[in-house]
Structure 1
């Protein structure tokens, strides 16, 4: 079950207009791959944002002890990050990114992990702009207009939602990975097959043995990067992509989603849950952790 709901730009604007007892806070979580050399935080301050948005930095509100990028934060780090942004437990949070749907699913999932009761994923910013809804283009000096709060999440669902490396390596070494799970990787097919380099030069390309590719770009609208609106459309899209790639996802098995660093894996996790899949977890360390921790013989190149 998804920890957040999709919301269209129209429904979001209607929600802002009708809600009178709680704050509806847009949460900009734009993040770029490091090889693009773009500064999402500077863009938030100097270019544009949805009015009254705060900026949630997935590279700051993370597990600071992990050597891997933006892993799930502990409870204290999350609470401090949310408090710094001035967010409250009863806020209605609507997460977006200025790419479309790229890093926003990761942010929405992270917030949902800590049982924030009302989290939405805007589907999406490109459609919001296209519809002519309000934008704030003034220069900002801070990542939030709200006063510091005392946010107190009491629990993390990480144990239920996150697959650790130790579980993944056990599944691969036992040979049970495909018999017991669907494992889908959101990276581009050429990266999955080891034909092109990874964006991080220290990491070899390839894939976890037993995984199948589900490139996230193929399940989003090519122009807007939006998810199909209905569950039926989403299920049809996933079915078409997997058949083209020569496999099917068994809905009776639990599914593990992954990617390069745990960001786009949440895109396909969102898609699968939107399509009706019930048991979808994220391998948070994803390919970066696997490639750096596993023996070279556990880096697959060919599709088996």
Structure 2
């Protein structure tokens, strides 16, 4: 299953590789790495979504190339057979984006998990944290890119006419319907034609855990989107789209996450 709970992780801290992938929206003025330095779960390695993304683009945290990803993961000391637990301390549940990245680059999906509730739940339960940087020994990670799991703008535009897959948007309904301005400059308001809306926050409890599977299914059914294996998720910049992708995989174990990487940061440009 894509999720593990805090009690399981506490019992298995030395048996898994742990990643802190806290990323915050710019307007929050929070810094994930600075917060990691102050405290984190024992053995956790920090992964900066922005710094470890594609560099030759003005779009935020786009997937990097395969060779760069191999270097990133090797530097973290993670091997191809390692079980990985990813957490965050973010209101946008950024750990799910890291989960997607690993699956996109070919890590066995059964070995990649997100900590349900993240650091917020861990700390609320008064489980131990540390502030020392985690030492790593470099590995020789080999990636296997799954290009079918990402959509680009051309594919999204063509799909409007040919309807080969459905698109579900994770942004708020107000943003989806164009009733409020976009947070990033240079973007129009609105959404991709024929897409559906399911705000990612509808799937998250106050303690940052996912709602139960029955409720997740109900939320997806309310979109009126056909619930098959051919759904692509989008959002503002590809982070909360991954929250929907993980949630959908909880109710459809045959689903492999598909993301429009550029999302509205690309599609909504004037």
TM-score by length of 2: 0.90
| Alpha-carbon separation, structure 1, partners of 2:228 and 2:74 | 40
Whether 1:14 and 2:11 are equivalent positions in the alignment is yes
Listed one character per residue, the Cα deviations across residues 179-204 of structure 1 (whole Å, up to 9, x for unaligned) are: x4321100111111111121112212
**2:260 aligned residue:** 283
Quick check: 1:101–1:225 contact (8 Å CA) kept in 2? no
SS of 1:250's equivalent in the other structure is coil
The structure-2 alpha-carbon separation of the partners of 1:209 and 1:277, relative to structure 1 and needing over 3 Å to count, comes to: farther
Does the residue aligned with 2:12 lie in a helix, a strand or coil?
helix
Query: Unaligned regions of 5+ residues in structure 2, if any?
Result: none
Identify which of 56, 60, 68 aligns with 2:59: 68
Which residue of the partner structure matches residue 2 of structure 2?
5
Q: Counterparts of 2:47 and 2:169 in 1: how far apart (Å)?
A: 25
Deviation at 1:253, TM superposition (A): 6.4
Q: Distance in 1 between matches of 2:143 and 2:265?
A: 30
Deviations 1:230-285 (A, max 9, x none): x334213433xx2xxxx412124621110001000000111111111744521111
Q: Aligned match of 1:254 in 230, 239, 250? A: 230
1:119-174 superposed Cα distances (whole Å, 9 cap, x missing partner): 111102222222222111x3x4x5x4213x133223111x12101111111112x2
Does structure 1 retain, via aligned residues, the 8 Å contact 2:13–2:42? no
Q: How does 1:1-304 map to 2 (within 5 A)?
A: 5-16=2-13, 19=15, 24-45=16-37, 47-99=38-90, 102-117=93-108, 118-125=111-118, 126-136=120-130, 138=131, 140=132, 142=133, 144-147=134-137, 149-157=138-146, 159-172=147-160, 174=161, 176-177=162-163, 180-221=164-205, 223-229=206-212, 231-239=213-221, 242=222, 247-252=223-228, 254-276=230-252, 278-279=254-255, 280-292=257-269
Supply the RMSD in Å over aligned alpha carbons. 2.0
Deviation at 1:93, TM superposition (A): 1.4
2:87 & 2:260 partners in 1: Cα distance?
22
User: In structure 2, how many angstroms separate the alpha carbons of the residues matched to 1:95 and 1:28?
Assistant: 6
Q: Distance in 1 between matches of 2:12 and 2:210?
A: 20
Instruction: From the superposition, tell whether residues 11 and 5 of structure 1 become closer, same or farther in structure 2 (CA, over 3 Å).
Output: same
Contact kept, 8 Å, 2:24 with 2:91, in 1: the verdict is: no
Q: Is the 8 A contact 1:256 1:282 kept in 2?
A: yes
Equivalences, count: 266
Query: Within 1, Cα distance between the matches of 2:229 and 2:144?
Result: 27
On the 8 A contact 2:105/2:143 being kept in 1, the answer is yes
Does the residue aligned with 2:187 lie in a helix, a strand or coil? coil
- Seen in structure 2, the aligned counterparts of structure 1 residues 224 and 150 have a Cα distance that, compared at 3 Å, is same
Secondary structure of 2:225's match?
coil
Question: How far did residue 25 of structure 1 move?
Answer: 2.0
